[in-house]
């Protein structure tokens, strides 16, 4: 990280509002977390470059690699449990087709919401694959082999207990970075996933802006609901992050007016990395946007996704160059990465 | 490590027999592995200083922390499966008393050999505890909390698949260090655990002195049987390590004659650390034995146990001092440790 740049950012924050430092966080304005003394390494689905995503083992590995925050994608089961899985489908990371062949919906997919937790416990979790005519092939071929060893689906509570237990045994304060997946889908299925997630956060002590948590979601209406209704009703306040995709749906949020609206309920944004540097950029001619600058101007932290050593954008030759552009040159506040080890090593060598 | 010392050791090996270097191993004499170009960090039951011992998560963490070898203690189930657990009892690391209250033997203990693998799958694995009058308390109180998160018992095959899968995804060549537990007990129960373990090693490609494996056992008769009968019958040759306790049973093996007998079937010894420096030593007056020197003179690698940051011998003030005495001053070839991270950091800072 650039110490100079950060001091400048802190100074500008200090000029624009009340600044309080709690641990390594800097709070501003309405108790908002807007900047950190160091860049954050957010383990995207765990150390998913090396072990099957969202398994307890992948989280333990991410923890050992020095991640500051570990991500949990959250979906709900038929019996109302919150489990850690990237999709509300099961068929690309488990053996559900083999164990429950009759349980697909008309679209051929197997939905988490159609299974109880006890049923999900019977599934083996695999490195991510695509399946065509019964043939499975790896999405990332240099990663952990498909359908090996023994991994299962975990609940959100179990993963929090892992991280809090490790915080005790290591003495490090690693945070959680839960994402509420598809709240509208869950509502149609009769579940209020946001309320369920906040309940669990409250149970495990994540209730204030000082706690080591970011709560993320793609759905701006749901985040506004969480900010305006759910959190106040539970007497909670946790940092919220608006995720931003690169499709047309997100264009209104990316305008000056849209971003101001985001800043009214969120404390950070989690944009696709290509909203910061255009995907079609060439190394000699980076199409850089002003998103980071505009977000920082509104007091929003910026945590782009997804930084992968084995899936580099065309505009860089290696992973270090990618990190240098985003973390040093463009000054984002942290990155979602499948490779926490390489990202920690970059930041440490860069001090 | 001391490069100078190692060069001297290699030179002495070269003078005393045929030396071949394969990867980072130095082989001598009858294809024996006797020295490494670097000291080995052997993760004792995984990163067990931080996560419940022998869980897949503890192994993933040990892997991420840079261990060279990861240990598996092996016992057998009623239906002949080889599982990874330190004891042939279940009651100090699982909730077996709650799940199967009627299944204790007359001595009040719950034996792995009395349960099928399917039954063991129903148990939750915990950080190690003692239980007195139904009250559980942690053996190491600063470690992972008792009965938290969700951990299970793994088979030896599943753990090998974890390590081999990580070897693929990381590109590192991490080895396994299985221990055959209580072969006489298993024999009384009608099981040949050594034959079962060698079968699995063979299935997963650990069949030659060049493969990343050490096979350890406390029982000298069983190691002799493995060396003289089982390995030749399977056309296998893997490095064997004679474990040595500090009780009177091991005194015959520690004499010059005993150690020569060990060298006839084993490639290394795994002694209690107190067989190298007396437990009653004071910092100003270390009661050092000549065991390392005598073992090295016979071409035996020396891997003492167990190096724990939270259970230091009285003769040191801190963990680094402990490592300095054994790895630098007394030149052991590797250590079994509950804290792979601290041990890797010591060796790296010491280069």
Q: Write the ipTM.
A: 0.90
Q: What is the pLDDT of residue B110?
A: 98
**Which of the residues B46, B63, B142, B150 would you substitute to probe the A interface, choosing the one with the greatest number of A C-beta atoms within 10 Å?**
B150
Give domain status of residue A35, yes or no. Answer: no
What are B216's strand-pairing partners?
B179, B241
- DSSP codes of every residue in B104-138: --TTS--BGGGS-HHHHTTPPB-S-EEEETTEEEE
Give domain status of residue A148, yes or no. Answer: no
Domain of B298, CATH number, reads 3.20.20.190
Pair (B71, B96) in one structural domain: no
- Residue B14 confidence class, pLDDT cut points 50, 70, 90: very low
Q: What is the pLDDT of residue A134?
A: 85
CA–CA min distance B64, chain A (Å):
6
Contact B158 A149 (CB under 8 A): yes
What percent of chain A stands above pLDDT 70? 89
Q: What is the pLDDT of residue A11?
A: 35
Pair (B262, B204) in one structural domain: yes
Computed over its alpha carbons, how large is the radius of gyration of chain A? 20
| Token pair belonging to A62 | 């991410």
**CA nearest to B63, candidates B181, B212, B200:** B212
Considering only residues B20 and A268, tell me which one the structure prediction assigns the higher pLDDT: A268
Smallest CA–CA distance from A50 into chain B, residue: B169
| Token pair belonging to B186 | 């298993």
Pair (B11, B52) in one structural domain: yes
Pair (A100, A204) in one structural domain: no
Burial of B278 (C-beta count, 10 Å sphere; 0-12/13-18/19+): middle
Q: What is the pLDDT of residue B30?
A: 39
| Token pair belonging to B262 | 């060990």
Q: What is the pLDDT of residue A38?
A: 84
Taking the CB of residue B105, how many other CB atoms lie within 10 A of it? 11
Pair (A114, A48) in one structural domain: no
Give domain status of residue B181, yes or no. Answer: yes
Which of A75, A109, A138 is where one domain is finished? A138
Looking from the CA of B38 toward its CB, the CA atoms found within 13 Å total 15
Q: Picking from A201-215, A269-283, B7-21, which range would have the lowest pLDDT averaged per residue?
A: B7-21
Smallest CA–CA distance from B143 into chain A, residue: A169
| Token pair belonging to A346 | 């970059």
Rounded CA-CA distance A24/A173 in Å is 11
Rounded CA-CA distance B250/B271 in Å is 10
Give domain status of residue A279, yes or no. Answer: yes
pTM listed for this prediction: 0.91
**Max CA distance (Å), chain A:** 62
Q: What is the mean pLDDT of residues B263-287?
A: 97
pLDDT at residue B92 tops 80: yes
Pair (B262, B284) in one structural domain: yes
- Residue B134 confidence class, pLDDT cut points 50, 70, 90: confident
**CA nearest to A276, candidates A345, A222, A229, A322:** A322
pLDDT in tens, A104-132: 999 999 999 999 999 999 999 999 999 99
Pair (B16, B65) in one structural domain: yes
CA–CA min distance A153, chain B (Å):
10
CA–CA min distance B303, chain A (Å):
24
pLDDT at residue A285 tops 50: yes
Contacts of B124 (CB under 8 A, 6+ apart): B94, B95, B147, B150, B151, B152
Pair (A110, A247) in one structural domain: no
Q: What is the mean pLDDT of residues B177-192?
A: 98
pLDDT in tens, A67-102: 999 999 999 999 999 999 999 999 999 999 999 999
**Which of the residues B43, B50, B81, B174 would you substitute to probe the A interface, choosing the one with the greatest number of A C-beta atoms within 10 Å?**
B50
Give domain status of residue B145, yes or no. Answer: no
Contact A149 B161 (CB under 8 A): yes
pLDDT at residue B287 tops 80: yes
Computed over its alpha carbons, how large is the radius of gyration of chain B? 20
Smallest CA–CA distance from B163 into chain A, residue: A149
pLDDT at residue A332 tops 80: yes
Q: Is the dihedral of CA A202, A204, A195, A43 positive or negative?
A: positive
Give domain status of residue B225, yes or no. Answer: yes
Smallest CA–CA distance from B51 into chain A, residue: A166
- DSSP codes of every residue in A251-277: HHHHSHHHHHHHHHH-SEEEEBGGGTB
Pair (A105, A205) in one structural domain: no
pLDDT at residue A215 tops 50: yes
Q: What is the pLDDT of residue B44?
A: 98
Q: What is the pLDDT of residue B146?
A: 98
Q: How many domains does chain A have?
A: 2
Give domain status of residue B111, yes or no. Answer: yes
Chain A residues bordering chain B (beta-carbon distance below 8 Å): 47, 49-51, 56-61, 63-65, 142-145, 148-152, 154-155, 158-159, 161-162, 164-166, 168-170, 341
- Residue A323 confidence class, pLDDT cut points 50, 70, 90: very high
Q: What is the pLDDT of residue A37?
A: 57
Pair (A201, A298) in one structural domain: yes
pLDDT at residue A339 tops 50: yes
Strand pairing report for A25-28 and A32-36: antiparallel
pLDDT at residue B17 tops 60: no
Q: Do A28 and A268 form a contact (C-beta atoms < 8 A)?
A: no
Pair (A117, A237) in one structural domain: no
Contacts of B329 (CB under 8 A, 6+ apart): none
pLDDT at residue B16 tops 50: no
Residues of B in contact with A50 (CB under 8 A): 166, 169-170
Pair (A131, A187) in one structural domain: no
CA–CA min distance B27, chain A (Å):
31
pLDDT at residue A212 tops 60: yes
Contacts of A201 (CB under 8 A, 6+ apart): A178, A207, A213, A215, A236, A238
**CA nearest to A93, candidates A15, A30, A153:** A153
**Domain that residue B101 falls in:** 89-138
What are A301's strand-pairing partners?
A268
């Amino acid at each position: 990280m650039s110490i100079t740049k950060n001091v400048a950012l802190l100074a500008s924050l200090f000029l624009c509002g009340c600044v309080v430092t709690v641990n390594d966080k800097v709070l501003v304005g309405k108790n908002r977390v807007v900047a950190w003394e160091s860049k954050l390494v957010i383990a995207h689905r765990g150390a998913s470059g090396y072990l099957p995503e969202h398994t307890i083992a992948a989280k333990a590995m991410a923890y050992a690699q020095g991640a500051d925050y570990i991500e949990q994608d959250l979906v709900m089961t038929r019996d109302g449990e919150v489990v850690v899985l990237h999709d509300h489908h099961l068929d690309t990371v488990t053996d559900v087709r083999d164990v429950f062949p009759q349980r697909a919906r008309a679209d051929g997919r197997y939905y988490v919401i159609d299974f109880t937790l006890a049923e999900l416990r019977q599934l083996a979790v695999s490195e991510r694959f695509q399946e065509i005519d019964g043939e499975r092939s790896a999405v990332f071929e240099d990663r952990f082999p498909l359908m090996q060893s023994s991994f299962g689906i975990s609940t959100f509570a179990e993963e929090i207990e892992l991280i809090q237990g490790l915080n005790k045994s290591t003495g490090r304060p690693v945070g959680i970075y839960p994402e509420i997946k598809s709240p509208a889908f869950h509502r149609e299925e009769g579940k209020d996933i946001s309320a369920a997630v906040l309940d669990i956060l409250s149970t495990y002590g994540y209730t204030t802006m000082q706690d080591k948590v970011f709560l993320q979601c793609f759905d701006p209406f749901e985040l506004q609901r969480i900010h305006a209704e759910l959190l106040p009703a539970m007497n909670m306040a946790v940092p919220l992050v608006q995720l931003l995709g690169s499709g047309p749906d997100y264009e209104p949020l990316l305008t000056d007016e849209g971003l101001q609206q985001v800043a009214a309920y969120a404390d950070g944004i989690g944009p696709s990395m290509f909203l910061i540097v255009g995907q079609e950029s060439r190394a000699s001619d980076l199409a850089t946007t002003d998103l980071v600058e505009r977000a920082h101007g509104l007091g929003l932290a910026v945590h782009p996704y997804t930084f992968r050593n084995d899936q580099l954008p065309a505009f860089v030759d290696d992973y270090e160059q990618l990190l240098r552009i985003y973390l040093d040159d463009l000054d984002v506040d942290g990155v979602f990465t499948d490779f926490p080890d390489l990202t920690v090593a970059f930041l440490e060598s860069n001090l």
